């Protein structure tokens, strides 16, 4: 709300004065408006409108006064009446733009567009339009309007941050750093600006500058500690990074990224047991966090604790069923989890009609496996047959290959499982379910170098996720 109010005051001035040369009655009306005697102003305007019903100025002043009384709908009706009488009447356009912008009304963009067509140098109108475009995720439009209201961008730390965020989105990192540096100079106590400036410096490849911005301060929060740890780690200062991440975990025990980043740092430097311990502590606080289980599974696999790793991978998949099955498969399988028999019956009936349907065969196999089919049972054999049919129809079905790898692994056919998973990996190199299973099998087969390669792939993917999270976490909410 602060951002909106500041721009509005710059738009109309603190008294919302409307300059107009008219009679003494008009002067009295304007005086009432400027001294916030809004009820009197409405009465005076209504009286004058009896003899001047087509005067857009009277309808505009009346609309502003009604807005001062909190009668938003009536205010906008009066302003629209003024604009019907004179579509180019700038005071009415300004007042309507202010009113709708202040109340987050979508029509604000329409009034601002009309106003800027008449007054292209109206700085405050550009500032409002920039905010609206930012909130609509239209950074290209926001940047144009921010550039036309440069002197207002630094009027609040939020508008500076939003402008910089759009510049980063447009890959203009150096320009974003300039904007945030100026804002940080004006608001040196703002942790949000300090964080955003350092984050943008990192994106601009200025690690040393980011470290200078992130020099330890008494008010450091978990986010700043986490970001500084990332920069320190990239600079090779591992002890400092470990210390910062440990403090971040202590400061924010509900923050997923702190556990993940600390664990990934441990894995990067062959401290697998420490990574597992960190993630165990995180799971105690966040027992339904799929990512924590997935990374702990990697750590356990590196420690040759295969059963524990498999349990963690399975738990991660249970918590986030987005992999290995796609959206359509999840929809069919989990619409009614209390009626799996009905789901199986439906799939079997479909397969009688279209026995080679790759999707239906994969869904049936997944459902059977999900229900706990084990080797040497009819359900297990049915699942394996379904997957083979799916792959005959579609040899490139990644989901079917991943499930076939799991079935072969359950039968202790490690070479067969690895073959299926390697085919899946070639088709979808970033499928983490595939890489998780490959890591387990390669370790069991004693192929340590290949296992290390897959583990590095997994940690690299997770590190990239962490980097994206950092990039996305621009702080645009003012501190309290």
Spans of all domains in the chain: 2-119, 327-472
Secondary structure in 3-state letters for 143-190: HHHHHHCHHHHCCCHHHHHHHHHHHHHCCCHHHHHHHHHHHHHHCCCC
Residue 8 is predicted with a pLDDT of 38
Q: Which residues contact 407 (CB under 8 A, 6 or more apart)?
A: 365, 369, 380, 383, 384, 387, 417
Question: Quick check: bond before 324 cis, omega within 30?
Answer: yes
Domain 327-472 bears CATH identifier 1.25.40.10: yes
Render pLDDT for 311-346 as a digit per residue (tens, 0 to 9). 887 788 778 765 433 333 333 333 333 456 766 776
327-472 has the same fold as 2-119: yes
Assess whether pLDDT exceeds 50 at residue 442: yes
Q: What percent of the chain has pLDDT over 70?
A: 87
On average, the pLDDT of the chain sits at 84
Render pLDDT for 233-289 as a digit per residue (tens, 0 to 9). 888 888 999 999 999 999 999 999 889 889 988 888 889 999 999 999 999 999 999
2-119 adopts what CATH topology? 1.25.40
Q: Is 132 exposed, middle or buried (0-12, 13-18, 19+ CB in 10 A)?
A: buried
Q: Average pLDDT of 111-135?
A: 93
The separation between the first and the last C-alpha atoms of the chain, rounded to the nearest angstrom, is 13
The better pLDDT of the pair 338, 419 is held by: 419
Residue 463 is predicted with a pLDDT of 67
Q: Calculate helix-pair angle for 432-444, 414-427, nearest 10 degrees.
A: 150
Confidence band, pLDDT 50/70/90 cuts, at residue 151 = confident
pTM of the model: 0.63
Assess whether pLDDT exceeds 60 at residue 460: yes
């Amino acid at each position: 709300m602060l951002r909106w109010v500041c721009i509005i005051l710059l738009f109309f001035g603190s008294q919302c004065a409307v300059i107009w040369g008219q009679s003494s009655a008009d002067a009295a009306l304007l005086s009432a408006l400027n001294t916030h005697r809004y009820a009197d102003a409405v009465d005076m305007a209504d009286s004058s409108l009896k003899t001047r019903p087509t005067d857009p100025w009277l309808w505009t002043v009346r609309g502003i006064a009604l807005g001062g009384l909190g009668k938003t709908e009536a205010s906008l009706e009066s302003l629209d009446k003024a604009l019907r009488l004179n579509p180019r009447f700038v005071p009415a356009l300004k007042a309507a733009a202010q009113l709708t912008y202040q109340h987050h009304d979508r029509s604000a963009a329409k009034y601002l567009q009309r106003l800027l067509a008449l007054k292209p140098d109206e700085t405050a109108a550009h500032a409002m339009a920039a905010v609206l475009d930012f909130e609509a995720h239209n950074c290209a439009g926001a940047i144009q309007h921010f550039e036309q209201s440069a002197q207002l961008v630094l009027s609040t730390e939020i508008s500076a941050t939003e402008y910089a965020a759009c510049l980063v989105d447009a890959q203009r990192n150096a320009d974003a750093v300039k904007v945030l540096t100026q804002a940080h100079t004006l608001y040196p106590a703002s942790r949000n600006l300090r964080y955003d400036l350092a984050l943008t410096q990192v994106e601009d490849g200025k690690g040393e500058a980011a470290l200078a911005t992130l020099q330890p301060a008494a008010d450091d929060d978990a986010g700043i500690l986490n970001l500084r740890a990332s920069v320190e780690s990239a600079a090779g200062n591992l002890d400092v990074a470990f210390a910062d991440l440990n403090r971040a975990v202590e400061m924010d025990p509900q923050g997923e990224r702190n556990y993940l980043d600390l664990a990934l740092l441990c894995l990067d430097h062959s401290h697998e047991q420490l990574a597992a311990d960190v993630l165990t502590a995180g799971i105690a606080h966040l027992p339904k966090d799929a990512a924590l289980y997935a990374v702990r599974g990697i750590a356990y696999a590196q420690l040759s604790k295969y059963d524990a790793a498999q349990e963690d991978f399975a738990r991660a998949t249970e918590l986030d069923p987005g992999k290995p099955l796609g959206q359509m498969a999840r929809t069919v399988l989990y619409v009614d989890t209390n009626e799996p028999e009905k789901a199986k019956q439906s799939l079997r009936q479909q397969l009688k009609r279209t026995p080679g349907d790759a999707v239906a065969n994969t869904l049936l196999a997944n459902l059977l496996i999900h229900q706990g089919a084990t080797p040497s049972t009819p359900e297990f054999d049915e699942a394996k047959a379904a997957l083979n049919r799916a792959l005959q129809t579609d040899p490139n079905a990644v989901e079917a290959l991943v499930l076939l790898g799991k079935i072969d692994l359950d039968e202790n056919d490690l070479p067969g499982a690895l073959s299926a998973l390697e085919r899946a990996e070639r088709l979808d190199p970033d499928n983490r379910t595939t890489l998780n299973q490959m890591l387990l099998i390669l370790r069991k087969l004693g192929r340590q170098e290949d296992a290390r390669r897959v583990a590095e792939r997994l940690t690299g993917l997770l590190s990239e996720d962490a980097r994206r999270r950092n990039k996305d976490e621009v702080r645009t909410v003012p501190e309290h």
